[in-house]
Structure 1
Amino acid sequence: MKRVSVLGCGWLGKSLAISLLDEGYSVKGSTTSEDKLELLEMNNIDPYIVNISEFEEFDDFLSADILIIAITSKDVDGFENLISQIENSEIQKVIFISSTSVYGRLNKVMTEEDAVLKTPLTEIENLFRENTFFETTIIRFAGLFGDVRQPSNWFKNGRKIPQPKGFVNMIHKEDCIEIIHEIIDQNCWNETFNACSNHHPTRREFYTIAKLSNDFEVPEFEENEVYEWKIISSKKVQEVLGYTLIHDDLLSI
């Protein structure tokens, strides 16, 4: 399978599309902005305008073997329409990029076996998981960072950081891309994976070091809160794929 369509060539999707080109794949990429078409084309990505909420037909974009969905939309109706088009397309495999936000803060380690919140995102996950016309693997990424997306730039303008005793659940963009490559290379379908660093410093420790290391002032934290936290386990994806995280010490980064 050498034809891939990447739905959503933003911060993660564009870098992913470029990495797939480097591996010899034929890559189509989508954006919702006419202004970004030229940027995709400059990177040798076959560019398309796709907005799933506009209920248009995406036949040419879906002429591929694998579809990777990397958009943040929570439009259930739009996804239902997209899925109906995938059913009638050449797409055989789908990677749906989800989020560990599907888990509540239950003061425990969360695995793929734990119950999830009832949200549009989990409803969309189920639409893909239950479809029998194609095979889907769902990746629940933790907080994303890397390149221009740096934690030291978050919580600016005097914003206090909540839950300082809680734990950080994050993953670097480079690991996100490598995990997606491994899923494709190993033909690993019909799975749901958490993907997160194994390192979970407290939010107080992590954001203090992040700020100070980039010459910001010591951040302020909200102290009078109910103590709520979760730690995301990504043991399954590491064991199933035999994957070793590249960026696994969040404080050194």
Structure 2
Amino acid sequence: MKIKTVSIVGCGWFGLPLAKALVKQGYIVSGSKRSMEGAAALTHDGISGFGLDLDKQQFNGNVVGESELGFDESTLAMLRQRLRTDAIIINIPPAIVKSPGAYQQRLSFLKRLMAQHEYMRIIFVSTTGVYPSSVHPVTESDAAPHSASSEVLLAAEKLFSELPNACIIRFAGLVGPERHPGRFLAGKQNLPGRESPVNLVHLDDCIGAVSCLLSAGSLSPVYNICARQHPGRESFYSAAAKDISLTAPAFSDESQVGKCIDGTKISTELGFQYRYNDPLAMLCEC
């Protein structure tokens, strides 16, 4: 069966451009924003917007109970219309440092809202932060709890990976409009790891990868999304800062074991083609 309807939980920096792209591809798209005002604005782009505040546990301004018995009939109907689609894309920023514990609570609540609906595809957006440092190229099987934040990320993935038809997509460092990498390290001093590899992916390739997962047949449980080329940190971030006339970062001689994310699996298995394999080529598109 072909996927026709898609709901996107979290129409922010990535979710909104994704939603717009899917509308252009012919999908019927629902998308969430935390505020009702933000949700209403989505309609201008052909997206059926709905308000979903996972912290306050509110759906379109109404408090959601522990079970469907807590809904009135109109709220139930809207929930089924907007959230219970053929496919769902879960795109909730972790913000682990700012609010420890909140990420897991938000996702657990969302999972309860999704309960007893059989999706043709569940795509959970995660991050390559689940991988520890390594001298070898890092593939999808190398995730390990190497820090407090990675433990949270892996626990979040597990919430959804155990559901039918679920796929985890792990993005490397995100760049694109309003997220120019030249600002990441500009002006910083005495940074270690001048030769450590850079792992980045452009917004357009993230959108393309999710589109690929929606249209493909059988999937692997996890895919990395990362540009094929990995320049050293010093050379890349110096060039990136110069690109927008900022002060280049300064690196020390202290070595640092980084990691080199292998994002080729989605290409090998599904035929996905990256638009940007060289992070330097991304600069003019940020």
Instruction: Tell me if both proteins adopt one fold, taking TM over 0.5 as the criterion.
Output: yes
Q: Give the corresponding residue for 2:160.
A: 128
- The 5 Å alignment of 1:1-253 reads 1-56=3-58, 57=64, 58-73=79-94, 75-89=103-117, 91-117=119-145, 118-131=150-163, 134-156=164-186, 158-160=187-189, 161-189=191-219, 191-221=221-251, 223=252, 225-253=254-282
* C-alpha distance in 2 between matches for 1:26 and 1:83: 22
Instruction: Return the structure number with greater helix share.
Output: 2
For the Cα contact (< 8 Å) 1:54–1:78, is it kept in 2?
A: no
- Which residue identity lines up with residue 140 of structure 2 in the other structure? E
* C-alpha distance in 2 between matches for 1:228 and 1:51: 39
* Cα shift at 1:228: 1.7
* Cα shift at 1:60: 4.1
* C-alpha distance in 2 between matches for 1:78 and 1:66: 19
- CA 1:153–1:34: 2 relative to 1, 3 Å: farther
- Which residue identity lines up with residue 32 of structure 2 in the other structure? S
Q: Give the corresponding residue for 2:97.
A: none
Unpaired stretches in structure 1, ≥5 consecutive residues: none
**RMSD, aligned CA:** 1.9
For the Cα contact (< 8 Å) 1:144–1:173, is it kept in 2?
A: yes
* Cα shift at 1:213: 2.2
Kindly provide the CA deviation profile for residues 141-187 of structure 1, in whole angstroms up to 9, marking residues without a partner as x.
1001112211112234x333543221100011111111111111113
- Which residue identity lines up with residue 214 of structure 1 in the other structure? I
Between 91-100 and 185-194, the greater mean CA deviation after superposition: 185-194
Secondary structure of the corresponding residue to residue 252 of structure 1: helix
For the Cα contact (< 8 Å) 2:194–2:253, is it kept in 1?
A: no
Structure number with greater Rg is 2
* C-alpha distance in 1 between matches for 2:275 and 2:119: 30
* C-alpha distance in 2 between matches for 1:170 and 1:207: 12
For the Cα contact (< 8 Å) 2:6–2:89, is it kept in 1?
A: yes
For the Cα contact (< 8 Å) 1:197–1:247, is it kept in 2?
A: yes
* C-alpha distance in 1 between matches for 2:137 and 2:125: 21
Between 210-219 and 4-13, the greater mean CA deviation after superposition: 210-219
Kindly provide the CA deviation profile for residues 90-143 of structure 1, in whole angstroms up to 9, marking residues without a partner as x.
533210010000001123211012142251110111121122xx3111100100
Kindly provide the CA deviation profile for residues 182-225 of structure 1, in whole angstroms up to 9, marking residues without a partner as x.
1111134452001100000000011011111222233223x154
For the Cα contact (< 8 Å) 1:4–1:28, is it kept in 2?
A: yes
- CA 1:102–1:171: 2 relative to 1, 3 Å: same
Q: Percent identity at matched positions?
A: 31
* C-alpha distance in 1 between matches for 2:215 and 2:120: 15
